Amino acid sequence: MDIDELQEQLPQSRECVKLRPLSKAGKVSMENLQFSAGSFDIWRTDCGIGVEASFDAPPDSCALYLPIAGAMEVRCRGLDLVSKSDSILVGKLQQTEFVRKHAGRSHIGVTFSQNALKRELSLLLDRPVTGDVDFAIEIEANTTLHGYLMSLGGLLWSTFANDKEEALPLRSTELLFRSMLVCMLEQLPHTYSSALKDPAAAAVPRHVKRAIDFMMAHLDTSLEMADLAIAAGVSIRALQSAFQQFKDTTPSDYWRQLRLEAVRRDFLVSGDLTVSAVARRYGFVHMGHFSALYKAAFGELPNETIRRGRESQAQRD
CATH 2.60.120.10 residue window(s) in the chain: 3-196
Give the Cβ contact number of residue 28 at 10 Å: 24
pLDDT at 13: 44
> Quick one: pLDDT at residue 12?
44
Contact 170, 312 (CB under 8 A): yes
pLDDT 10s digits, 216-273: 999 999 899 999 999 999 999 999 999 988 887 899 999 999 999 899 888 887 766 7
Residues of the chain with pLDDT under 70: 1-16, 163-167, 198-203, 271-272, 312-317
| Region(s) of the chain under CATH 1.10.10.60 | 204-316
171-185: string of b/e by CB count within 10 Å (b at 16+)? eebbebbbebbeebb
Regarding beta strands 61-69 and 105-113, do their DSSP bridges make them parallel or antiparallel, or are they unpaired?
A: antiparallel
| CATH T-level topology, domain 3-196 | Jelly Rolls (2.60.120)
CATH ID of 204-316, from 1.20.58.340, 1.10.10.60, 1.10.3470.10, 1.10.150.530: 1.10.10.60
d(C-alpha 136, C-alpha 132), whole Å = 13
Enter the pTM of the model: 0.66
Task: Give the separation between CA 107 and CA 236, rounded to whole angstroms.
Answer: 54
Q: Is 101 left (phi over 0), alpha (psi -120 to 50) or beta?
A: beta
Kindly report, residue by residue over 74-101, the tens digit of the pLDDT. 999 888 999 888 899 999 888 899 999 9
